[in-house]
Amino acid sequence: MENTLYAVVARPPVYGAKVKSVDDADALKVAGVKKVIRIEGTGQPAAFSPLGGVAVVATNTWAAMEGRRALKIDWDTAPAGDNADYTSDTYRKSLEKAAQSPGKVIRQSGDVEAALQEAKKRVSATYYMPHMAQAPMEPPVAVVRIKDGKAEAWAPIQNPRATREGIAGILEMDMENVIVHQTLLGGGFGRKSKPDFVIEAARLAKEFEGQPIKLQWSREDDISHAYFHTASVDHLEAGLDEEGKATCWRHRTLSPSITSLFAPDPKHIAEFEQGMGFNTMPFSIPAIRLENPPAPAHVRIGWFRSVYNLPHAWAIQSFAHEMAVAAGKDHRDYVLDLLGPDRKIHNLTVGDGWNYGEDPDMYPIDVGRMRRVIERATEEAGWGRKTGKGRGLGLAFHHSFVSYTAVVFDVEVDDKGELTIHRADIAFDCGPQVNPERIRSQMEGSCVMGIGVALQSEVSFKDGVAQQDNFDRYLIPRMPDAPKVVRVHLIDNPGDAMGGVGEPGLPPVAPALCNAIYAATGKRIRRLPVGNQLS
């Protein structure tokens, strides 16, 4: 676009920090740099608004980046409050401690305390999942031009209405004067549903009326200043009778809520977050108590593929395997027994009024369909076959986005702790199938992404600052990490209502993989990512 100027932004290293002072003398000496602009953050909660910082605008992106390197910025962390002390290890330990005490009761049936006292055997475990960044292939980028009282934007975004609202708000103009062009229909695993980068570009375009401004985020910007997938701690306890059957189940889940973006931090997950596999847990157990102790947010929490289904499936499916081991039972047979008889559970009966926005009369939790994906995945994987030393099979399943998924991994771990994933078998039921090949590709992609969640991906914080800023430290799967074979087994149910496809393949991947690692090695993984825990 003719006469385009290019911009990059130095953003606060700690969420909520402000610019105390900036020396831009050296930046303005860089050839091509036109202007240095301070951007005020909107405070917390930030929602989709810019974080604030200092922008460098130049005749090309390289000059803008060199100008940013030359800036001397003194940051004021006082407005960030507790965020300036946010350290991942300390936070995890605080949540683990909080998980030992009762929390807000979400669902209850029977007397869990009495059942635990009477149990022949008690099982308990605590699971941790860290922050993750979406890290889409294309980092955020946007072009905005303001001319004749109108704003026009070009950007790869998922949410054009929120983008228009944000631009109109920061420019103080009516929405009908804002036009947004979606340049790429692609989600970036949820990152591009948040249009803060387009709103940021609009703020800069206001300084150069008539000229287009192209704002480019680097990979370092994208990972260090992301909307992060929530960190979580889940503590579960169960009582078993003399035959190993579950008599009670208590689950405490702690994680910052996405709603902390839009209002003062509630410190408890919202109803729709509870409905992502937590209060919709379908096991048939006499006494159940689900609790949600508080967990404050210290960074921007954002939508990540499958959202809160990830930590809930990770904890529940890992713990069900631990119960099977404690009972001395086969894992598949044990979870089929936990599910109980085939039945349809109305979401309102378990306290879920959300159900992904779907009618629970049309989309109940169907235990029969859940059972069938488990049976299909285990049958195709050859469940029960001998695997030899250092090799094992692992199972997990989950209901989300009104679809049903089960995954079985066949893995091997050598004496040095090197993991080889020989095969993944994925059974999936989304009701009617419009494009089976697209469904297969979504399951294959979920499998690889879930392997990254399990083995490698983590954003940690020290004194409020992200410790990963590129793919040398924020690790994602490479070709050797992928299964040698991925087999997708689709269960067509043309008579049922149509379910989701893009997200429900992901939640059971990490627990299935870690259950397979246990089967191969006897090592129990309760903290993600696995990293070097096998060596």
Distance CA 528, CA 535 (A): 15
Predicted confidence (pLDDT) per residue in 256-303, tens digit: 999 999 999 999 999 999 999 999 999 999 999 999 999 999 999 999
Query: Which residues share a beta bridge with 288?
Result: 109, 249
Q: Which CATH number fits domain 5-79+140-216: 3.40.50.620, 3.40.50.970, 3.40.50.1980, 3.30.365.10?
A: 3.30.365.10
Q: Which amino acid is at 373?
A: V
Please state, in angstroms and rounded to a whole number, the distance separating the CA atoms of residues 33 and 477. Answer: 38
The two three-digit tokens of residue 497, written as one number: 């209502």
- What is the per-residue pLDDT across 187-246, written as a single tens digit (0 to 9) for each? 677 888 899 999 999 999 999 999 999 999 999 999 999 999 999 999 999 999 999 999
Of 284, 286, 379, nearest to 341 by C-alpha is 284
Q: Could you give the count of Cα atoms lying within 13 Å of 395 in the half-sphere of its Cβ?
A: 28
122-148 pLDDT, tens per residue?
999 999 999 999 998 889 999 999 999
Confidence of residue 42 (pLDDT cuts 50, 70, 90): low
Q: How many residues in the chain?
A: 535
Residue 305: which of 490, 112, 506 has the closest Cα? 506
User: Residue 462: how many CB atoms within 10 A of its CB?
Assistant: 13
Inter-axis angle of helices 309-327 and 331-339, nearest 10 = 110
* 477-518: pLDDT as tens digits: 999 999 999 999 999 999 999 999 999 999 999 999 999 999
| CATH number assigned to the domain covering 88-133+227-521 | 3.30.365.10
Q: Supply the pTM of this predicted model.
A: 0.96
φ and ψ at residue 56, rounded to 5 degrees: -120, 125
Instruction: Kindly list the domain boundaries of the chain, sorted by start residue.
Output: 5-79+140-216, 88-133+227-521
Residue 126 region by backbone torsions, left for phi larger than 0, else alpha for psi between -120 and 50, else beta: beta
User: Comparing 5-79+140-216 with 88-133+227-521, is the CATH topology the same?
Assistant: yes
Could you give the residue ranges of the DSSP H alpha helices within 208-270?
219-224
Burial class (CB in 10 A: 0-12, 13-18, 19+), 137: exposed
Task: Quickly count helices (H) and strands (E) in the chain.
Answer: 13, 22
Exposed e or buried b per residue across 357-385, where buried means at least 16 C-beta atoms within 10 angstroms of its C-beta: ebebeebbbbbebbbbbbbbbbebbebee
Q: Is 210 exposed, middle or buried (0-12, 13-18, 19+ CB in 10 A)?
A: exposed
Q: How far apart are CA 210 and CA 103, in angstroms?
A: 55
The SS3 assignment for 349 reads: helix
- 105 pairs with which residues across the strands? 291
